[in-house]
């Protein structure tokens, strides 16, 4: 009996050492493996100052700065320009017709200014469709951006364009707790009390020095975000590795096995082959984003999240009806939403049951095309619409009189 027990203990110690060593070796260039130290991660002072200068907004968390330009790299290099009014691209017509707020599918990542769905729709209507989209926004943040700018909005209609994952984003406070190592993405939370808009503002981004060039947020910041962010307990802690590492590995056995396997191949090939194209690294990243999207689908069936999201939708609906302003909420799926057809039915059915004519989910219209995959640029971030996809979306919206 003693020999069997000794053998089991020895195997356990061996596995613990192996998994611990692998974890710290693999996490060096992979943000999705986290441990206790990552609760309040370190970051470079230069990077933080660059964020404050280029993106920080004390009300919204982050935003596109007016009169700026930039580019993005995917399968090609694409360019964007934010004009003096804060919208993307040039005004082509004298009249402004629609103002669009939302996430990266509103902004239209990875296409040029003259390839966005707003540009294509503008040409059909012969009026400007203004693009105020910002990457990684939820419906709540998009609505707050509209509130902040509404006195300057002169269009007769407002459209909010978001992905189905928005249900998770509206409950996120510090993105790091759901999108590990997205350190500077701290956003306000909308807390509706008795149908009144109560905004939990972002905490002050107060830091403390770790070394000459490294910082981390202070204890006051950390206490605040832990208290307010649902995903600290429901996501971050559940995925956090801690001693004994064997148990942490087994707790998410399927996902961790997939990540360790591909990251191990990645690290070996990176070491021995200078021309290696990071294929296995991107496979690991894609797996994480697929899991996040599937988890967001499940939120549409959980009472707490459904109830909170419905309250937000009703508040927005009542707001625009009281103001007598025409509005729409446009739900546009990511590639990974449609890839898992059985799972995406969860959010499709949710929006159908709302029976709100102002909410337009185009998932089924895109799926109607047998070759729907050709409309997406598939990347590790969930798969954005490509040039053809943006043109398809514009055509769909024009047919629906948007």
Tell me the pLDDT band of 266, cut-offs 50, 70 and 90.
Answer: very high
The verdict on residue 23 lying in a domain is no
Q: How far apart are CA 272 and CA 294, in angstroms?
A: 35
Tell me the pLDDT band of 13, cut-offs 50, 70 and 90.
Answer: very high
Please indicate whether residue 58 or residue 379 has the higher confidence score (pLDDT): 58
Q: How far apart are CA 214 and CA 165, in angstroms?
A: 33
Return the structure tokens found at 49: 């100052």
What's the Cα-to-Cα distance from 327 to each of 101, 155, 315, 392, rounded to whole Å?
Answer: 11, 11, 13, 21
pLDDT of residue 382: 61
The verdict on residue 354 lying in a domain is yes
What's the Cα-to-Cα distance from 144 to each of 60, 198, 316, rounded to whole Å?
Answer: 7, 11, 10
Question: Do strands 207-209 and 96-102 pair parallel, antiparallel, or not at all (unpaired)?
Answer: unpaired
pLDDT digits (tens, 9 = 90+) for 294-313: 999 999 999 999 999 999 99
Domain total in the chain: 1
Residue 374 DSSP SS3: helix
Q: pTM to 2 decimals?
A: 0.95
The verdict on residue 24 lying in a domain is no
pLDDT digits (tens, 9 = 90+) for 204-246: 999 999 999 999 999 999 999 999 999 999 999 999 999 999 9
189 DSSP β-pair partners: 200
Q: Kindly state the helix (H) or strand (E) to which residue 200 belongs, with its residue range.
A: strand 199-200
Q: How far apart are CA 188 and CA 173, in angstroms?
A: 6
Q: Buried b / exposed e across 301-314, counting CB within 10 Å, b at 16+? A: eeeebeebbeebbe
Is pLDDT of 74 > 90?
A: no
Report the residue count for the chain. Answer: 402
pLDDT of residue 116: 98
Q: How far apart are CA 271 and CA 4, in angstroms?
A: 40
Q: How far apart are CA 382 and CA 344, in angstroms?
A: 14
Count the neighbouring beta carbons within 10 Å of the beta carbon of residue 137. Answer: 32
Return the structure tokens found at 288: 């994480």
> What number is the average pLDDT over the span 25-41?
96
Q: How far apart are CA 62 and CA 46, in angstroms?
A: 17
Q: Buried b / exposed e across 149-176, counting CB within 10 Å, b at 16+? A: beeebebebbbbbbbbbbbbbbbbbbbb
pLDDT of residue 153: 94
Tell me the pLDDT band of 328, cut-offs 50, 70 and 90.
Answer: very high
Answer for the pair 362, 330: CB distance below 8 angstroms, yes or no.
yes
pLDDT digits (tens, 9 = 90+) for 364-378: 999 999 999 999 998
Q: How far apart are CA 205 and CA 276, in angstroms?
A: 38
163 DSSP β-pair partners: none
The verdict on residue 384 lying in a domain is yes
The verdict on residue 2 lying in a domain is no
End-to-end CA distance of the chain: 75
pLDDT of residue 380: 62
Return the structure tokens found at 398: 């024009």
The verdict on residue 12 lying in a domain is no
Q: Buried b / exposed e across 42-63, counting CB within 10 Å, b at 16+? A: ebeeeebeebeeebbeeebbbb
Return the structure tokens found at 124: 């059909």
Supply the CATH number for residue 164's domain.
3.40.50.1110
Mean pLDDT for all residues in the chain: 95
Q: Kindly state the helix (H) or strand (E) to which residue 361 belongs, with its residue range.
A: strand 359-361
| Domain enclosing residue 181, as ranges | 37-399
The verdict on residue 29 lying in a domain is no
> What number is the average pLDDT over the span 316-321?
97
The verdict on residue 26 lying in a domain is no
- Closest to 373 (Cα-Cα) out of 338, 332, 330: 338
Is pLDDT of 89 > 80?
A: yes
């Amino acid at each position: 009996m003693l020999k069997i027990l000794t053998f089991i203990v020895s195997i356990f110690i061996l596995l613990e050492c192996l998994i611990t060593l692998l974890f710290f070796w693999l996490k060096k260039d992979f943000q999705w493996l986290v441990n206790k130290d990552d609760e309040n991660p370190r970051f470079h002072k230069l990077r933080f100052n660059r964020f404050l200068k280029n993106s920080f907004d004390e009300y919204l968390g982050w935003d596109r700065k007016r009169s700026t330009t930039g580019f993005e790299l995917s399968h090609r290099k694409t360019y964007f320009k934010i004009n003096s009014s804060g919208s993307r691209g040039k005004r082509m017509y004298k009249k402004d017709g629609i103002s669009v707020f939302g996430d990266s599918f509103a902004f239209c990542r990875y296409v040029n200014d003259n390839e966005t769905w707003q540009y294509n729709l503008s040409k059909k209507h012969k009026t400007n469709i203004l693009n105020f989209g910002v990457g990684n926004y939820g419906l709540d943040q998009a609505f707050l951006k509209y509130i902040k700018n509404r006195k300057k909005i002169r269009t007769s209609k407002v459209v909010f364009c978001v992905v189905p994952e928005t249900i998770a984003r509206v409950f996120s406070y510090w993105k790091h707790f759901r999108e590990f190592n997205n350190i500077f993405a701290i956003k306000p939370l909308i807390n509706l009390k008795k149908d009144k808009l109560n905004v939990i503002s972002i905490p002050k981004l107060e830091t403390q020095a770790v070394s000459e060039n490294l910082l981390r947020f202070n204890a006051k910041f950390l206490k605040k975000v832990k208290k307010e962010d649902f995903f600290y307990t429901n996501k971050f802690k559940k995925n956090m590795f801690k001693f004994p590492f064997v148990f942490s590995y087994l707790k998410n056995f399927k996902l961790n096995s997939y990540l360790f396997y591909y990251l191990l191949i990645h690290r070996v090939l990176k070491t021995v082959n200078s021309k290696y194209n990071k294929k296995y690294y991107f496979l690991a990243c894609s797996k994480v984003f697929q899991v996040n999207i599937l988890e967001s689908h499940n939120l549409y069936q959980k009472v707490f999240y459904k109830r909170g999201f419905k309250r937000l939708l009703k508040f927005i609906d009542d707001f625009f009806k009281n103001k007598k302003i025409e509005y729409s909420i446009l739900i546009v799926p990511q590639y990974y939403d449609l890839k898992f057809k059985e799972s995406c039915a969860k959010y499709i059915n949710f929006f159908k049951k709302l029976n709100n004519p102002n909410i337009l989910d185009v998932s089924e219209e895109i799926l109607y095309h047998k070759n729907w995959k050709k409309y997406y640029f598939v990347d590790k971030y969930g798969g954005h619409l490509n040039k053809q996809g943006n043109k398809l979306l514009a055509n769909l919206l024009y047919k629906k009189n948007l």
